[in-house]
């Protein structure tokens, strides 16, 4: 359920759901990842960092994959924005 709120950018609800999940699954890296993402978007950077470190502690390989996937998504988004700007300047994007 927390992932749904992360995807819909409802950071407070996501944080609440992942905190509840932490009680049930204290060693699950997915829970710490969700907590870290929600905290990061809410501006709680110290808590986010602590949760990211927990993800790395419990599953270093998955944490590395997630970071690479996030970087790739950011790069794709930037490329798309640049492409849209170029097209709008040329009068091709309506």
What's the pLDDT at 32? 92
Backbone angles phi and psi of 68, in degrees to 5: -65, -40
28 and 54 part of one domain: yes
What's the pLDDT at 92? 61
- The residues near 46 (Cβ < 8 Å, ≥ 6 apart) are none
Residue 37, Cβ density class (10 Å: 0-12 exposed, 13-18 middle, ≥19 buried): buried
Q: Which domain holds residue 82?
A: 68-94
Residue 75 within a domain: yes
pLDDT digits (tens, 9 = 90+) for 24-79: 989 888 899 999 999 999 999 999 999 988 988 888 777 677 777 777 777 888 88
43 and 79 part of one domain: no
Q: Are 5 and 14 in contact (CB under 8 A)?
A: yes
pLDDT band at 89 (very low <50, low <70, confident <90, very high): confident
């Amino acid at each position: 359920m927390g992932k749904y709120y992360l995807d819909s950018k409802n950071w407070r609800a996501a944080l609440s759901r992942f905190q509840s999940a932490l009680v049930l699954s204290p060693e699950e890296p997915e829970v710490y990842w969700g907590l870290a993402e929600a905290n990061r978007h809410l501006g709680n950077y110290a808590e986010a960092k602590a949760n990211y470190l927990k993800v790395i502690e419990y599953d270093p390989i998955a944490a590395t994959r997630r970071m690479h996937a996030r970087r790739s998504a950011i790069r794709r988004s930037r490329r798309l924005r640049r492409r849209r700007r170029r097209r709008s300047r040329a009068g091709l994007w309506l």
